[in-house]
Structure 1
Amino acid sequence: MSFDAGSPAPSPLPRRLGLTGSIGAGKSTVAALLRARGLTVLDADEQARQVTEEPGVLAQLEAAFPGTVVDGRLDRSALAAQVFGDADRLAQLGAITHPRVRERMAALEAQAVRAGARWVVHDVPLLFEGGLDRTMDAVLVVDAPLEQRLERVMVRSGLGREDVLARDARQLAAAEKRRRATMVLDNSGDLAALERQVEAALQQLGIDTRGAGTD
Structure 2
Amino acid sequence: MLVVGLTGGIASGKSTVTSLLKAHAIPVIDLDILARVAVEPESYALSALVRHFGDSILRSDGTLNREALGSIVFNNEKERKVLNSIVHPAVRRLLAWELAKAWLRGEKICVVDAPLLIEAGLWKLCGAIVVVYCSEILQLQRLRSRNNLSLTDAQARLSSQRPLSEKLDYADYVIDNSGPIGDLQNQVDSVVAKLHKRAGWSWVVSWLVPPVGIVRAALRVGWRLWFQGVGKKKGRSTRGEKKAEEIEMRDRRRRSSAAS
Q: TM-score range by the shorter chain?
A: 0.7 to 0.9
Separation in structure 2 between the aligned mates of residue 194 and residue 80 of structure 1, nearest angstrom = 32
**Higher strand content, 1 or 2:** 1
Contact 1:25/1:142 (<8 A) preserved: yes
The equivalent of 1:65 in structure 2 is 53
Task: Note the alpha carbon deviations across 1:70-123, whole angstroms, 9 max, x for none.
Answer: 211211111011011212111111122111111111111111111110211011
**1:38 to 2:10 alignment:** no
**1:188 to 2:174 alignment:** no
Separation in structure 2 between the aligned mates of residue 160 and residue 58 of structure 1, nearest angstrom = 33
Task: Note the alpha carbon deviations across 1:130-167, whole angstroms, 9 max, x for none.
Answer: 22212211111001122221222223333332222222
Separation in structure 1 between the aligned mates of residue 151 and residue 36 of structure 2, nearest angstrom = 26
Separation in structure 2 between the aligned mates of residue 64 and residue 161 of structure 1, nearest angstrom = 33
Cα 1:113/1:75, change in 2 over 3 Å: same
Cα 1:82/1:149, change in 2 over 3 Å: same
The equivalent of 1:18 in structure 2 is 5
TM-score by length of 2: 0.71
Matches within 5 A, 1:196-207: 196-206=186-196
- Using the TM superposition, give the Cα deviation of residue 168 of structure 1 relative to its aligned residue in structure 2, in angstroms: 1.9
- Using the TM superposition, give the Cα deviation of residue 207 of structure 1 relative to its aligned residue in structure 2, in angstroms: 5.3
Cα 1:94/1:165, change in 2 over 3 Å: same
Matches within 5 A, 1:161-172: 161-172=151-162
Q: Which has the higher contact order (CA 8 A, sep 6+)?
A: 1
Separation in structure 2 between the aligned mates of residue 130 and residue 165 of structure 1, nearest angstrom = 22
- Bigger Rg, structure 1 or 2: 2
**Number of residues paired by the alignment?**
198
The equivalent of 1:105 in structure 2 is 95
Cα 1:51/1:207, change in 2 over 3 Å: farther
Cα 1:59/1:158, change in 2 over 3 Å: farther
Separation in structure 2 between the aligned mates of residue 137 and residue 144 of structure 1, nearest angstrom = 23
Separation in structure 2 between the aligned mates of residue 95 and residue 194 of structure 1, nearest angstrom = 35
Match of 2:135 among 141, 145, 158: 145
Separation in structure 1 between the aligned mates of residue 35 and residue 104 of structure 2, nearest angstrom = 23
TM-score by length of 1: 0.85
Separation in structure 2 between the aligned mates of residue 186 and residue 119 of structure 1, nearest angstrom = 22
Contact 2:6/2:112 (<8 A) preserved: yes
Gaps of 5+ in 1: 1-13
The equivalent of 2:205 in structure 1 is none
Gaps of 5+ in 2: 202-260
CA RMSD of aligned residues (A): 1.7
Which segment is superposed worse, 41-50 or 171-180?
171-180
Contact 1:148/1:188 (<8 A) preserved: yes
The equivalent of 2:82 in structure 1 is 92
Separation in structure 1 between the aligned mates of residue 197 and residue 97 of structure 2, nearest angstrom = 22
Name the SS for the 2:117 alignment partner: coil
**1:173 to 2:160 alignment:** no
